[in-house]
Amino acid sequence: MNAQQSQAQTQVSPARIRVFDTTLRDGEQSPGCSMTPPQKLVMARALADLGVDVIETGFPASSQSDREAMALIAREIREPTLAVLSRCLQADIDISLRSLEAAAKPRLHVFLSTSPLHREHKLRMSRGQVLERVVQSIRYAKQHIDDIEFSTEDGTRTEEDFLHEIVGVAIAAGATTINIPDTVGFTTPEEIRGIFQRLIAQVPGADKVIFSAHCHNDLGLAVANTLAAIEGGARQVECTINGIGERAGNCALEEIVMALKVRNAFFEADTGIDTRRLVPTSQLLQRLIGMPVQRNKAVVGSNAFAHESGIHQHGMLRHRGTYEIMRPQDVGWPDTQMVLGRHSGRAAVEQRLRALGYYLEEAELDMVFADFKALCEQQRVVTDADLQHLMQDTGDGEGYRLASMTVSDVGQGASATVELSDPDGRRVAETAKGDGPVDALFAALSAATGVQLSLESYQVHSVGLGTDARGEASLSVRHGEDEYEGTGTSRDIIEASALAWLDVANRLLRQRRATGNSEQLATA
C-alpha cells in the first residue's frame, strides 16, 4: 500500500449534523413574533425547502392556534420530521400525540426541568420525583410513538451526577434523542463541550441515541456554545431563523450552518442545508413577523457583504478573499456591495463609474473623485444617480441630454415630442405615439437616439419631503441578451422617467465607444 492510499483510508468523513429548527415554537415565543397558522404553514414550506431535518411546529397543549398550525403543516409537509413540544404530563402528551397523527414523520419532544433552582422553585420536586416523572412520561409515550426526544430544561446548570442519571433513565425508557439545553444562555464553550464529552463517554446507552444542543443567546454565546457542543459529540443542533427566541434569542440557524460550512476542515462536520436559501428564508420571516434584523447581522444582515472602507474596497477589487470568507451568492445575496461613502477610495469610485459606462482618463478621474469627496461631506452614501450628476457637472459630453419635452394624453392615445442634445452638441427632435404618456415618451426617445430598449419594469416614487420632494423613476430594460437598470430624478415624474431611460441609453453608448464595439444599438 502506498502513502497516498494509506492517507485516503485514514481520512475521516465529515459528521452529519441534524438541523432541528424551532422558529415556529421557541422562536415564536419571542415577544412580538407570534404567527397565525397560515403564516406558520408559509414558514414551514420555506424551512422544508431550506433542507432542515426537523421542524418543531409548536406546543399543542398551550393553544388551539398551535394545534391548528400543526394540522395545516402535517397535511402538506412530508419530508422533514415534524416535532411538537410537550411537558412530561400525560394530558399534554395525549394532546400532542393527537396533533401528530397526520404527520408523515412525527416526533414527540418532551421536557422537564432538572436544575436545582428549577426543581426547588418551579417544580417543587425532589430528584427522585423528577426521575420518576421522566421515566413514566417516556414509557407512556413510547407505547404510541417511536421517535421521542427528551430535553433536560436548564441542563447546563444541573448537577453533573444528576444530569448523567436522568439522561441514563431517559435512554433506558425509550428516548431516541437527548437534548441538553442551555436554557438561560449561562454556559461557556469549554463547559458545554465537557458536558457533552462526559455524557457520551459515561452514560450507559449513549451510543444508541443522538445528542442535541439547544443554546440561548443571553451572553451572546449561543453559536459559540453550539459549535463547542458539536466538538463534544452533539449531532443535532436546535436553532431558529434570524436567531429569534425567548429574551436575547436562540442560536441563529444561518450562523451555525455557515460556520460549519466555511470551517468544515476544522469542525469536520456539515449539514444538509441549501445555504443559497438562507437570505430568502430570513427575509420571509422578517416580513411575516415584522421584525427586521440589524444591518450588521452575520450572514443575512444587509451589511454582511458590504464594504465602504477604501482599504477594504481596494483589497476586494484585487482579490475577493482579502475581506470575504464566503461568497454572498452562497447564502442567497446577489453580490457584494461596494458602498460609496467618505471612507471609499479612488479604485472603488473608478470601478463603479466603469460599471455605469464611464471610462475616464487620470485627470478626469481626479476631478470627479475630488467632487465625490466633497459630496461625501454632505451625505453618508453616494448612489449611482449621484455619480451620474457628478459626471454631468464635470462636463461629460458623451451622451444625449434632454433639452425639452411635451407629452399629451388626449383622444385615442398619447403622444410625446422630445428635443435632445446629441453627444456632438446637435439638436435632435422626434415625436411618437403610444398607449400612454410614458410609452409615447420612451418611443420618442428611442426614435431620437436610435437605441431600442425593451421595458421589463418601471416604478416611480417620491424622494424627500415638503418643498424638497422630488420624483424618482427607476426602470429595468433589456437590450439584446443583457438587462440594465436606470434611474432619474426630477420634480416632474415624466421628466424623471425620461432621464431614467437616457441613463441606460447613454451608458450603452459609452460602453460601445470605450470597447470599440460597432454593434448597432437599435438591435433589441
Query: CA distances (Å), 366 to each of 258, 315, 326, 482, in order?
Result: 41, 20, 33, 31
- Asked whether residue 60 falls in the same domain as residue 23, the answer is yes
What are the residues whose beta carbons fall under 8 Å from the beta carbon of 524, sequence distance 6 or more?
452, 453, 454, 478, 479, 480
pLDDT at res. 409: 80
Residues 386 and 425 in one domain: no
Q: Kindly calculate the radius of gyration of the chain based on its CA atoms and give it in whole angstroms.
A: 30
* Total count of domains within the chain: 3
Per-residue confidence (pLDDT) for residue 518, from 0 to 100 = 44
Does the annotation place 118 within a ligand binding site?
no
Q: Identify the CA nearest to 309 among candidates 375, 378, 376, 390.
A: 376
pLDDT digits (tens, 9 = 90+) for 424-449: 778 999 999 988 889 999 999 999 99
CA distance 487 to 459: 10
**Rounded Cα distance, 304 and 294, in Å:** 10
CA distances from 182 to 51, 54, 251, 373, 401 (A): 25, 19, 10, 50, 64
Report the 10 Å Cβ neighbour count for 513. 13
50 and 198 share one domain: yes
The whole model's pTM is what?
A: 0.70
Where would I find the H helices in 319-417? Answer: 346-355, 362-376, 384-393
Closest CA to 177 of 149, 153, 213: 149
Task: Indicate if 60 and 177 belong to the same structural domain.
Answer: yes
Instruction: Return the number of other C-beta atoms located less than 10 Å from residue 417's C-beta.
Output: 17
Is 294 inside a domain boundary? no
| Residue 201 within any structural domain of the chain | yes
Q: Residue 467 sits in a domain of what CATH number?
A: 3.30.160.270
- pLDDT for the residue 318: 77
User: 49 - beta bridge partners?
Assistant: none
- Cβ within 8 Å of residue 9, ≥6 positions away: none
| Identity of the amino acid at 104 | A
Is residue 92 assigned to a domain? yes
> Where are the strands (E) in 236-342, listed by range?
236-239, 269-270, 306-307, 337-338
Question: Residue 128 is inside which H or E element, if any?
Answer: helix 127-142
**6 in a structural domain:** no
Q: Are residues 360 and 405 in the same domain?
A: no
Cell digits for 275? 445555504
- Print the domain residue range for 176: 12-289
Based on the fold, state whether residues 249 and 329 are members of the same structural domain: no
How many CB atoms within 10 Å of residue 438?
23
Domain presence at residue 358: yes
Residues 6 or more apart in contact with residue 418 via CB below 8 angstroms: 402, 404, 405, 429, 430, 431, 441, 444, 445, 448, 498
Separation CA 99–CA 94 (nearest Å): 9
Residues 343 and 275 in one domain: no
85 and 186 in a single domain? The answer is yes
Q: Report the pLDDT value the prediction gives residue 39, as an integer from 0 to 100.
A: 95
Q: How far is CA 132 from CA 138, 179, 382, in A?
A: 10, 18, 66
What are residue 148's DSSP bridge partners? 108
For residue 368, what pLDDT is reported?
Answer: 84
Say whether 296 counts as a known binding-site residue: no
The three-class DSSP label of residue 172 is helix
What integer pLDDT is reported at residue 483 of this predicted model? 80
According to the annotation, is 216 in a ligand binding site? yes
Is position 439 annotated in a ligand binding site?
no
Residues 361, 458, single domain; the answer is: no
What pLDDT does residue 137 have? 98
Q: Which residues pair with 18 in a beta bridge?
A: 236
Listed residue (396, 410, 321) closest to 361, CA to CA: 396
Residues of the chain with pLDDT under 70: 1-12, 308, 310, 313-314, 338, 357, 392-398, 411-412, 463-469, 513-524
For 80, the grid coordinates are: 422533514
What does the pLDDT read at residue 7?
A: 47
**Bridge partners, residue 358, by sequence:** none
The 3-state DSSP class for residue 486 equals strand
Q: Which residue has the cell 424622494?
A: 463
Of 367, 393, 419, at which residue does a domain stop?
A: 393
Indicate whether 319 and 283 sit together in one domain.
no
> Looking at 373, 393, 413, which one is the last position of a domain?
393
**Exposure string over 92-102, b if 16+ CB within 10 A, otherwise e:** bbbbbbebbee
Last residue of a domain, one of 262, 289, 316: 289
For residue 357, being part of any structural domain is answered with yes
Query: Residues 424, 494: contact at Cβ < 8 Å?
Result: no
* Residue 148 CB coordination number (10 Å): 25
The position carrying cell 452575520 is 298
Q: Does an H or E element contain 402, and which?
A: strand 401-410
313/337 Cα distance (integer angstroms) = 10
CATH of the domain at 250: 3.20.20.70
Short-list 398, 307, 388, 400, CA closest to 353: 388
Q: How far apart are the first and last CA of the chain?
A: 63
Could you give the C-alpha distances from 103 to 78, 91, 97, 199, in angstroms and in order?
7, 20, 10, 31
In a domain, 521, yes or no: no
Both 258 and 313 in a single domain? Answer: no
Assess contact for 463 and 436: CB atoms under 8 A.
no
Q: Could you tell me if residue 520 is inside a domain?
A: no
Candidates 518, 448, 511, 513; CA nearest to 484 is 511
- Is there a single domain that holds both residue 169 and residue 96? yes
Structure confidence by residue, pLDDT tens digits, 293-352? 998 999 999 888 877 676 776 677 778 788 788 998 999 988 777 677 888 888 888 887
